[in-house]
Structure 1
Amino acid sequence: MAIEYVLERSIGSVAAWVEENDYKGYDPGDGLTSFFRPLAFGNPLIERVLLQFVWKAPVNVRPFIGIRPSDSTKGRGYMAAGYCILHRLTGESSHKDKAVACLNWLVANSAKDHVGFAWGNHFDFVTRRGCLPAGTPIVVWTALIGLAFLAAYEETNDDRWLEVVRGVSLWILSVPREKTATGTCLSYVPFAQSSIHNSNMLGAAMLASARQRLRDPELLNVAKSAMLYSCARQREDGSWWYGEELKYHWIDGFHTGYNLDGLKRYINASGDETLRPHLRRGLAYFKNVFFKDDGRPCYYHNRLYPIDIQCAAQAIETLAFCSSEDPSCLDLSVKVAKWTIDNMQDRAGFFYFRQYPLIKSKTPYIHWGQATMFKALVTLLEKLSNGEHRR
């Protein structure tokens, strides 16, 4: 069976599931919306335990503890980006209409009391960094959603979307920055400095990409300094820690994918060839470390489980996107896509959350799994449709 047909069938199924559920679903981090949260009495440690229990439970406990499916800014952003690609591929106006509906929703649900446009989670989220209140925008989601608006502008030439891109850029410029002798790191959050590589590199990619349309030299200057920061801290084997602080010293697949996506987008937008060796080293590490022979994506650099749908989705997208850099990436993207569709997609259309050694967690998350897989698969389909067919 031709891989294009397999992809089209899978894309249609997951898109139908998302649309039938009105773009609502669960999120891995939504545990603190449970009616059990008051029993934590505001203790951050107990709240983290509750959040992690809900997130990592092998069965979906949410319906029993008061957590309902909800809208997701991240989910809408990924779906909008995927619809734009499908419109470019097919010319069907329905895909453009769906993208516009998602984008309009995102404009209406941008973070309040912030300059420009920005987005975050719809729930409180407690981590080792502390509490991130609901509605607080973060650079990762804002940059990824901003790139969807940029894609929509390039697809439709609608100036409304370019104004949102301008607003996203203004917000990213407003966040704190860690200034060092080797570059400047954009903060993960707007209220304190938190230096994390994937958010820094995605923020830089957004600024550099926006600069192509907005013609603002400050955007490229900030983007270049941010990329210098992360590339200067790339490890000798091509990998990156999640962050430079000791508590962030782990390496995982989907954040590595974010880094590579951000770096390639920056190089494409800026023409800065000095950083291409960093992209090649990082891509070689990614290919050689995070995948089994059958296409299973590894979560961490040193162990397989849990097999996580976000790692699969980001791998498919990153490998397809970077296939212009290394053609062998396309074969690997296809292999990961085949394995994921065969092993992680339900007959109802949605993708499962995780596979453990003895059990699968089948919770249907709206962003983490459905929207991310939708965009990843259409990204791969577009690459194959451009003449690089694989069977």
Structure 2
Amino acid sequence: MTSEKVIWDSIESLHQWVKDQDYYGWDPYDALNSKLILKLCMGSPYLEILATQLNKYSIVNFRPFLRVEKGIDVKGMALFAQAYSKMYTLTNDENYKDSSLNCMSFLKNKSLVSIYGYDCWAGHYYNFRNADKSTLSPNIPDVITTSNVIKAAVESYTILRRDDLIEMARGGYEFLINSLLQKSKDGYFYLKYDPLSNDKIVINASAEGLSAICKLMRLFDEKNMNETAYNLANFLISSQNTDGSWVYSKYNNGKVRTQLDFHQGFIIDSLLEYLPFADLDQKEGIISSIQKGSRFYKEMQFFKDGRCHFRYPREYPIDIHNQSQGIITFSKLISFNEEFLGFSTKIALWTILNMQNNNGYFYYQEHKFFRNKIPHMRWGQAWMMLALATYLEKNEGEQ
């Protein structure tokens, strides 16, 4: 069986499982989607953080016993929509087109435009307490989710040709530049993670926003949009370490959070998206940044067999989100540098052979001596759907 056949069988099996679940599922961070757990935490942020982390890392799925409700994740639906657009383009299968339309109808209904004045989206269908005590809720829009809905709307427009999708995407862009665009103390423009994040700069947040804006730039030639993309790209270049990596976030108190995982891929992807639009005075810096970033990502974060470090230099657990992002980024890098030809295949095949259940879904994590088989819908299934669709799109004709 060829690698292409293995990957086609994998994505079709995954699609069927997701449809059977009607997109409902659990999430690694969904502990507070339980009234019982909320009651036990008694409003304490420390107990809520503890409950969230225990729920996230437990290899036993206690969610049914703790009454953690399943939900449909907005970000997950945006990822599925992007994947379906690619799959329809490759196959002309009306099932993928119908699935894309269903996802976009859901996303349109989840817009928080009535609250914020612009189309925008929150990634969590539940309340979430982060390790730094910050909170996210279904009513707090964020840059990652909004950016992915923008990308989904633009890509879905190419197959559905519905003007309301472009209106959604433009509304999301207005939210990014009017509610999240800020200038740092050292003079660089960046995007806040959400309207409440005034004490930190999350590097990959600006990268996701840049990727979304680049999707719109393929449809619109507007000075303000081009300038915003130019500024965000400069911010990403300036934030890169000399070894090619990026830190996760910087706080106003001087604290820096280093987390070398799939977020590196987000940033590389965004610079690849922006490269065709870069001015001559900026292009050399973009190319150099991609070269350094992709070299670090491949040589330091990945093993030769296609496994990704959990968070470099920590090896285990092998996480499905890391695997999916590796497939996405190295598939996109093929057009930038042919030396990456085949590496995305290696990651995809290792992941399918080691982390996909016979029923179609993907496991959460692979530890050294055991597996966490919980089938998280957004974290595992949505990202793998997009990863495999991106692989098939970018490798078309390369097999």
Aligned residue for 1:265, secondary structure, equals helix
Task: Could you tell me which runs of 5 or more consecutive residues in structure 2 were left unpaired when the two chains were aligned.
Answer: none
Instruction: Report the AA paired with residue 40 of structure 2.
Output: L
Partner of 1:251: 259
Give the aligned CA root-mean-square deviation in angstroms. 1.6
Partner of 1:262: 270
Shift of 1:297: 1.4
Change (3 A) 1:47 1:138: same
1:215 to 211, 215, 221: 221
Partner of 1:184: 189
Shift of 1:244: 2.5
Once the two structures are superposed, what CA deviation does each residue of 1:100-136 show, in whole Å capped at 9, x if it has no partner?
1110110011125023222121111111151122331
Aligned residue for 2:72, secondary structure, equals coil
Matched-pair contact (CA < 8 Å) for 1:212–1:269: no
Shift of 1:229: 1.6
Instruction: Report the AA paired with residue 59 of structure 2.
Output: P
Mapped pair 1:345 → 2:353: no
Counterparts of 1:56-67 in structure 2 under 5 Å? 56-67=57-68
Aligned residue for 2:115, secondary structure, equals coil
Instruction: Report the AA paired with residue 125 of structure 1.
Output: F
Aligned-partner Cα distance in 2 for 1:347–1:365: 16
1:377 to 368, 388, 394: 388
Matched-pair contact (CA < 8 Å) for 2:204–2:248: yes
Runs of 4+, deviation exceeding 6 Å: none
Counterparts of 1:67-106 in structure 2 under 5 Å? 67-106=68-107
Shift of 1:182: 4.5
Shift of 1:251: 3.0
Shift of 1:226: 1.9
Aligned residue for 1:244, secondary structure, equals strand
Counterparts of 1:224-239 in structure 2 under 5 Å? 224-239=230-245
Aligned-partner Cα distance in 2 for 1:182–1:230: 13
Matched-pair contact (CA < 8 Å) for 1:253–1:315: no
Task: Could you tell me which runs of 5 or more consecutive residues in structure 1 were left unpaired when the two chains were aligned.
Answer: none
Change (3 A) 1:178 1:125: farther
Mapped pair 1:329 → 2:333: no
Mapped pair 1:117 → 2:119: yes
Matched-pair contact (CA < 8 Å) for 1:234–1:240: yes
TM-score (norm 2): 0.93
- Farther off after superposition, 284-293 or 337-346: 284-293
Instruction: Report the AA paired with residue 189 of structure 2.
Output: T
Matched-pair contact (CA < 8 Å) for 2:49–2:133: no
TM-score (norm 1): 0.95
Once the two structures are superposed, what CA deviation does each residue of 1:233-262 show, in whole Å capped at 9, x if it has no partner?
200000000013365422322100111111
- Farther off after superposition, 120-129 or 314-323: 120-129
Aligned-partner Cα distance in 1 for 2:57–2:13: 26
